[in-house]
Amino acid sequence: LSADCINLLRHVISAGAAMPRLTPRTMYRQIGGGQRDGHTTPYLCYLGEETCMEKIASAPRRKCAACKIVVHMACIEQLDKINFRCKPTFREGSSRCLRDNVLRHHWVHRRRQEGKCRQCGKSFQQKFFHSKEIIAISCSWCKQAFHNKVTCFMLHQIEEPCSLGAHAGVIVPPSWIIKVRKPQSSFKNSTRRKKRTSFKRRTSKKGTDESKWRPFMLKPLPSPLMKPVLVFVNPKSGGNQGTKLLQMFMWILNPRQVFDLSQGGPRELRLAVLACCVGWVLSALDELQMNPQPPVAVLPLGTGNDLARTLNWGGGYTDEPVSKILCHVEDGTVVQLDRWNLQVEWSPAQPEEGTQKLPLNVFNNYFSLGFDAHVTLEFHESREANPEKFNSRFRNKMFYAGAAFSDFLQRSSRDLSKHVKVVCDGTDLTAKIQELKFQCIVFLNIPRYCAGTMPWGNTGDHRDFEPQRHDDGYIEVIGFTMASLAALQVGGHGERLHQCREVTLTTYKTMPVQVDGEPCRLAPSTLCISLRNQANMVQKSKRRTSVPLLNDSHAVPERLRLRVNRISLPEYENLQFDKERLRDICEFPQTQKDEQTLTGAVYLQYLSQ
């Protein structure tokens, strides 16, 4: 999201398990056979009929996420025979490769292609009944596409350097990532060692050398135009949306800057993969102790997404093009987000059933106990027992509604106020909580809660409370009855209790709690809430004038070098109407010394509208 991501990527590489593992299993996803539901699939094997190894029409095919070629699994090894290689994601560490720092186009034959030809400007004809013919040649990096004709695509374009397209500023170039050869101990060197060196010592030294070796290293070229993005996706979020987004980001960006959290992410961080991807990333940044921390943008998947709503990213992903999302990330504003510590001290004097540890010890959105936590816990336990029944956002929302109605009838949280004690900045709120008989207490850090509602509301002329902010170092304490919880859906708000910096919460019985949507049954404990730090987040701009298109020839940022000559004001006033004499006086300097004294370099970055 900024130049700080370069340091983050360097941390990821140098700390151990470097880059995402790109194998045929991770890069190729199954798209089905030649026949599906009685219709012929438009995807044909990239090898063609002459060299294809699979002769069965219904054989399953796989699609590469980086190049978008379709091939049989049996034909993947045959790609080398036709001299086709996947688009490079790194460069070799040999001296020859290090000298060649130019990224060239990665041309791929296409039997189906959207958009228009870069040369002639005409659309690509979709030949449904003659799909075996190659109609286009496109670059999998910059997405330029040409007709498969001599008049449109010429031979000299094969070796031309690639600009990486409309999103060149956020893509990690393959030339930055260098593969390091594993050191090999030679036989001669081993025989020259002194005989007094013990076998145990030699083994430990070898193990030390191997532990220091890293398969990749990062050598970025500093540029004001480069602001690379690292993408972390949890494929389990939002049904199948996470998996689709993972493939789309690999297509637009360098696959080695896209991390699959179901594989554990960067393994050296040794953090558990959480349901909330944002919490995982922010915790990982805490572990790295980077200063300054790179800003984080949120792409909402699944249900809830209160933090995404707060930062103007919306309540859910609606199949918006990834290219448009990256443009919003580049144009976003960096804001601060308070993060809060949760310290739990179990009360052994009151042994009851329940866990003695919270699922998270840091929260970014809210911490709550009572009715809402009980509903979330029921949903969590049901999903763990039957995950196949919770594969869509609509089903999840329907279950939430049913669980809330059932809990409302049972009134399981009606005695909450009798079993808690709340002290905010030294002020005891227990008496007020018992008086109003709250069935839910929320400690809120952001304005949004419970799928987009605003429980704090607009304070207006209320003198006792300030407007809520997510970067002021204060947390809002709100109480709810069943009536006020129902009123949230129609614009109501809860009972404002306090705005404070520290909270001490004591529970005297086992009760459901949730931390950023992660529920549990907590045994009687004393909890302390205090400010941890502030994270840099990307807030989406509400309006954008234009979005660059991938095949737009004028949308690629370019660097121009202009010569600027000096002329006195009297000469300009006398000759401003005589262009010929003015041009003669302002001729470019002939010598390098004059050029250094009279000219300057001006670098411009533009996007033609």
In the prediction, which pLDDT does 529 show?
96
CA distance linking residue 247 with residue 253, whole number of Å: 10
Task: Return all residues near 238 (Cβ < 8 A) that are at least 6 apart.
Answer: 301, 302, 316, 317, 393
Instruction: Report the alpha-carbon angle 49-52-58, nearest 5.
Output: 85
Per DSSP, the three-state class of 208 is helix
Given a cut of 70, the residues of the chain with pLDDT beneath it are 1-43, 57, 94-100, 126-131, 183-214, 238-240, 264-277, 303-304, 350-351, 388-413, 461-462, 543-565, 585-609
What DSSP line would sit under 508-519, residue for residue? SS-EEEEETTEE
CA distance linking residue 465 with residue 499, whole number of Å: 7
Q: What is the third-level CATH fold of 340-535?
A: Tumour Suppressor Smad4 (2.60.200)
In the prediction, which pLDDT does 222 show?
73
CA distance linking residue 588 with residue 20, whole number of Å: 51
Query: Cα dist. 40→36, 37, 53, 72 in Å?
Result: 7, 8, 19, 16
CA distance linking residue 187 with residue 189, whole number of Å: 6
CA distance linking residue 253 with residue 311, whole number of Å: 24
Which letter does DSSP use for residue 122 in this model?
A: P
In the prediction, which pLDDT does 553 show?
41
* pLDDT tens column, 425-473: 999 999 999 999 999 999 999 999 887 889 998 877 667 888 899 999 9
Query: Cα dist. 280→271, 298, 311 in Å?
Result: 8, 12, 18
CA distance linking residue 60 with residue 72, whole number of Å: 7
CA distance linking residue 455 with residue 493, whole number of Å: 4
Q: Which sequence spans correspond to the domains of the chain?
A: 1-14+164-183+208-332+540-549, 15-159, 340-535, 558-609
CA-based max dimension of the chain: 97
CA distance linking residue 553 with residue 576, whole number of Å: 36
Pairing of strands 333-346, 525-539: antiparallel
Structure tokens at 346: 């179990």
Strand stretches in 486-570, DSSP E: 495-500, 502-507, 511-515, 518-522, 525-539
Task: Return all residues near 8 (Cβ < 8 A) that are at least 6 apart.
Answer: 230, 285, 288, 290, 294
Residue 247's closest CA among 67, 72, 387?
67
Residue 546's closest CA among 608, 492, 478, 485?
608
Residue 408's closest CA among 477, 479, 485, 478?
485
User: Which secondary structure element, helix H or strand E, spans residue 137, and what is its range?
Assistant: strand 136-139
Structure tokens at 78: 């045959």
CA dihedral 157, 162, 165, 171 (to 10 degrees): 160
User: Which secondary structure element, helix H or strand E, spans residue 343, and what is its range?
Assistant: strand 333-346
